[in-house]
Amino acid sequence: MAENTIDIQKLENIFDNMVNVMDQSKNDIFTISEQSRQAFQEMQTEVAVIKEEISRVITEGDYLEDMTRHSRRRLADVSKNFMNYSEEEVRQAYEAANDLLVRLSINRMEEKQLRVRRDELDRRIAALLETIDKADHLVNQVTTVITYLTSDLKKVGEALETARQKQEFAIQIIQAQEEERKRLSRDIHDGPAQMLANVLLRSGLIEKTFTEKGPNEALSELHQLKEMVRNALLEVRRIIYDLRPMALDDLGLIPTLRKYSSTVMEYEKGSSIHFMNNGTEKRLESNIEVALFRLVQECISNALKHGNSRDVWVKVEWLRDTMNIVVKDNGKGFDLTQTKDKSFGIIGMRERVELLKGEMKIMSTIGNGTTVLFRIPLQENIIVE
């Protein structure tokens, strides 16, 4: 039994940890995205500088290429007309041509290196753009999931609270069953058992009275004994009626509710139960009628015991495919936002209504009484012809 018990606190902790981990993961992904964007901007700036350098090197290279062609023509002319130039002029022509050739070679190498660096940056920029897109997509997905979870956190909390209430409800059912057994045992002991014991004593007394005082005195005692037996019988019937009204099986829901209303007014002096039935009554399956009877019984009991009501109105309305039950009282009412021990009865009623696939609505304010509405669908499979 213990192994199947739901630890609600652990479920809440797991859910909170899951949301926190996802939120931290979103922050980490966002950090990666921002770092990638910063690197992207830096690389774009570097690429712009490199492109300017490439443009400058190409312009310089074009100039050096023109100068190299010119120096080569000059060197060719000097070499061809060697006798017309001095040795110094020949040397200068040769050095100029060689210097321009070296500068042009360096220029071409620098241009190649700049182009390689530019291409490498372009590839890295493309990879960064892909990383940024993926990071943004992941951030959006995680944000959507977190938003979904956190927006539904209240519903999850309500579901967990419902699970906790059901768990507590199951425990309270066991306790209530034990309390009911104690109450029943006490009622039988204090009521019919004591009365029957008195009947036994009185019967012996009647026999003695008849012997000692004659039949007239014995007859008087017999009348008193008859009244005691009648009271004992009424008490036994009351106990049996509280366990399960036999009239439900014989007469149906509406007559049983009428009889119950009258019985309550007999036991609760000063209280008035106003019962009204609208529409054509239908006989329902036995377990359905019992459940509906218990709902009304619980409402009346709550109104009298917890609400200190003196008047309770019960209205049953039969529609084509729906049955409406309204129980209204003029008691002290209660705050629906406050959860107290008395909510055990409300939880029990909600459980019954859920089993009947119906709806339950409670309207109450402090000082203005309470109204409970049950709307039960009348499915064909629960109606007894």
Strands 359-364 and 322-329: unpaired
Q: Please give the structure tokens belonging to residue 277.
A: 């039935």
Assess if residue 158 is contained within a domain.
Answer: no
Element (H, E) at 131: helix 87-151
237 lies in the same domain as 260: no
Contact 103, 64 (CB under 8 A): yes
Phi, psi of 375 (to 5 degrees): -120, 110
Looking at residue 327, which CATH number applies to its domain? 3.30.565.10
Domain boundary among 183, 215, 243: 243
Tens digit of pLDDT per residue, the chain (385 long)? 444 555 666 766 777 777 777 778 778 777 887 888 888 888 888 889 988 998 998 998 888 888 888 888 887 887 777 777 777 877 888 888 888 888 888 988 988 998 898 898 888 888 888 888 887 777 777 777 777 666 655 555 566 566 666 656 555 555 555 555 665 666 666 666 676 767 777 777 777 777 777 777 777 777 777 777 777 776 676 666 666 666 777 888 999 999 889 888 887 888 899 999 998 888 888 888 888 998 998 899 889 888 889 899 999 999 988 999 999 999 998 888 775 544 557 777 888 888 888 999 999 888 889 999 999 998 876 777 5
Which CATH number do you get for residue 72?
Answer: 1.10.287
> Do the domain assignments include residue 157?
no
Say yes or no: 279 and 347 in one domain. yes
CB 344 within 8 A of CB 172: yes
Q: Are 277 and 299 in contact (CB under 8 A)?
A: no
End-to-end CA separation in angstroms for the chain: 42
CB atoms within 10 A of CB 137: 12
190/196 Cα distance (integer angstroms): 10
Measured between alpha carbons, how far is 230 from 367 in angstroms, rounded to an integer? 41
Pull the structure tokens for residue 351. Answer: 């459980």
Answer whether residue 163 is part of any domain: no
In terms of DSSP bridges, do strands 370-377 and 322-329 run parallel, antiparallel, or are they unpaired?
antiparallel
Q: Is the dihedral of CA 258, 311, 318, 357 positive or negative?
A: negative
On the CB side of 182, how many CA atoms lie within 13 Å of its CA? 6
Tell me if 49 is assigned to some domain: yes
The verdict on residue 296 lying in a domain is yes
**Do residues 11 and 144 share a domain?**
yes
Q: Any idea what the Cα angle at residue 71 is, between residues 70 and 75, rounded to 5°?
A: 120
Contact 377, 358 (CB under 8 A): yes
Domain holding 347, by residue range, is 251-385
For residue 159, being part of any structural domain is answered with no
* Distant-in-sequence, close-in-space partners of 169: CB < 8 Å, separation ≥ 6: 344, 347, 348, 351
E strands, the chain, in order? 272-278, 283-284, 311-318, 322-329, 359-364, 370-377, 383-384
Q: Is the domain of 19 the same as that of 140?
A: yes
237 and 119 inside one domain: no
Query: Does one domain contain both 147 and 17?
Result: yes
Which of 218, 243, 268 corresponds to the end of one domain?
Answer: 243
Domains contained in the chain, number: 3
Sheet bearing 311-318, strands edge to edge: 272-278, 311-318, 322-329, 370-377, 359-364
Within-domain flag for 161: no
- pTM for this prediction: 0.47
In a domain, 325, yes or no: yes
Are 146 and 26 within 8 A, CB to CB? yes
**Cα 71 from Cα 347, distance rounded (Å):** 105
Considering the domain architecture, whether residues 53 and 135 belong to the same structural domain is answered as yes
pLDDT given at position 342: 47
**76 and 204 share a domain?**
no
Q: Domain boundary at 243, 277, 299, which?
A: 243
Mark whether 215 and 285 lie in a shared domain.
no
- Contact by Cβ (8 Å): 377, 354: no
Closest CA to 208 of 223, 195, 221: 221
Farthest-apart Cα atoms in the chain, separation = 185
Looking at the structure, do residues 119 and 258 belong to the same domain, yes or no? no
Domain co-membership, 6 together with 94: yes
In this structure, the answer to whether residues 17 and 147 fall within a common structural domain is yes
Cβ-contact 289, 352 below 8 angstroms = no
